[in-house]
Amino acid sequence: MAGGAEQTSSEYIRHHLQHLTYGRLEDGTWGFAQTPEQIEQMGFWAVHVDSLAMAVFLGGIFFVIFRLAAQKASSEVPGRWQNFIEMVVEFVDENVKSTFSANNRLIAPLALTIFVWVFLMNLMDLVPIDFLPYTFQLLGVSHFKIVPTTDPNVTMGMAISVFILILYYSIKIKGFGGFFGELAFQPFPKALLPANLALEGVTLLTKPVSLGLRLFGNLYAGEIIFILIALLPWWIQFSLSVPWALFHILIIVLQAMIFMILTVIYLAQAHEHH
């Protein structure tokens, strides 16, 4: 436990679920919030600095790793690292090719970015729960959540970006009339236009919501269970946290893959003519 022995278990959990939030404090100055009440009072204009910093940092890692591998790539016998990167790129490429038939140069790089970035953000869940927060606490930072995908703001932000791309390509490929027609004249005949609009509208809006909440929910569940395991005495923790971490490796990769594949499927639907 990080914060001393006098903490109760629910205080410990709440401490671990609080973000490092930057916003306008009650007295009018700008600064970091210390208590949940202060975060509540900040309202809409509060920024989760820890999620943002970790997300940008991991995005940078992804960029540097892949850039270096691409520069060093040779047609000779490839090294281990190049092999690994090629495996990832080929995996994404195969998935995009099998689901996406239209011609769009953005989709495969987008899919690769989403897959690796989400995977790296999920991977932070496997770092021991108190390791980085405690280190930052010694440096004077009160709260630090290191898994950006356990922050609904991050996952919903990604989902909404995908949603905007869906709308953009739907209108670009099918025209405004075509997109509206798809929403209004299916699945019932044209006479039932309001019912069609309601049904298809819900279908359209569920896409970003389910996409974002699925990733958030899975990682949040994993995080909570790790926090609960960390409440046990130290000599018994490994008996639960090791199996859960092993199982969680599957979830981490699976959720990154699902986010990527669903993005590609949704964008492929946006490119389809009827």
Contact 220, 121 (CB under 8 A): no
Least distance (Å) between residue 263 CB and other proteins: 13
Per the CB < 8 A criterion, the answer to whether 118 and 255 are in contact is yes
Q: Which amino acid is at 216?
A: F
On whether the CB atoms of residues 129 and 227 are closer than 8 A, the answer is: yes
Q: From the list 13, 49, 65, 184, which residue makes contact with other proteins (rule: CB under 8 A)?
A: 13
Residue of 65, 224, 240, 268 that binds other proteins (CB under 8 A): 224
Neighbours of 265 (CB within 10 A): 14
Q: Which of 89, 123, 199, 213 binds other proteins (CB under 8 A)?
A: 213
Contact 22, 47 (CB under 8 A): yes
Kindly identify the residues of this chain, within the stretch 31-60, that bind other proteins according to CB under 8 A.
none
Instruction: Tokens for 135, please give them.
Output: 């280190």
Is 214 a binding residue for other proteins by CB under 8 A? The answer is yes
Q: Site mask, other proteins, residues 167-206, x = CB under 8 A?
A: ----------------------------------------
Contacts (Cβ under 8 Å, ≥6 apart) of 272: 102
Cα end-to-end distance, the chain, whole Å: 58
Angle at the Cα of 54 from the Cα atoms of 52 and 55, rounded to 5 degrees: 65
Stretch that binds other proteins, among 58-66, 110-118, 140-148, 215-223 (CB under 8 A): 215-223
Q: What is the Cα–Cα distance from 117 to 92, expressed in whole angstroms?
A: 13
102 binds other proteins per the rule CB under 8 A:
no
Q: Is residue 245 within the footprint of other proteins (CB under 8 A)?
A: no
> Is 121 within 8 Å of 148 (Cβ atoms)?
yes
Q: Does 14 bind other proteins (CB under 8 A)?
A: yes
Q: Select the span of 61-69, 176-184, 248-256, 266-274 touching other proteins (CB under 8 A).
A: 248-256
Neighbours of 82 (CB within 10 A): 17
Q: Does 160 bind other proteins (CB under 8 A)?
A: no
Q: Which residues contact 55 (CB under 8 A, 6 or more apart)?
A: 117, 121, 148, 154
Catalytic residues: 210, 214, 218
DSSP conformational letter for 79: -
Binding residue for other proteins, selected from 195, 221, 246, 249, defined by CB under 8 A: 221
Residue whose CB is less far from other proteins, 29 or 101: 101
Q: How many residues bind other proteins (CB under 8 A)?
A: 23
CB-nearer residue toward other proteins: 16 or 174: 16
| Beta strands 46-48; 30-32: pairing state | unpaired
Report the SS3 class of residue 7.
coil
Minimum CB separation of residue 190 from other proteins in Å reads 33
Q: Which of residues 249-268 bind other proteins (CB under 8 A)?
A: 251, 254-255, 257-258, 261
The distance of closest approach from Cβ of residue 214 to other proteins in the complex, given in angstroms and rounded to an integer, is 4
Shortest spacing between CB 33 and other proteins, in angstroms: 18
| Interacting residue ranges for other proteins, rule: CB under 8 A | 8-10, 13-14, 17, 213-214, 216-218, 220-222, 224-225, 228, 251, 254-255, 257-258, 261
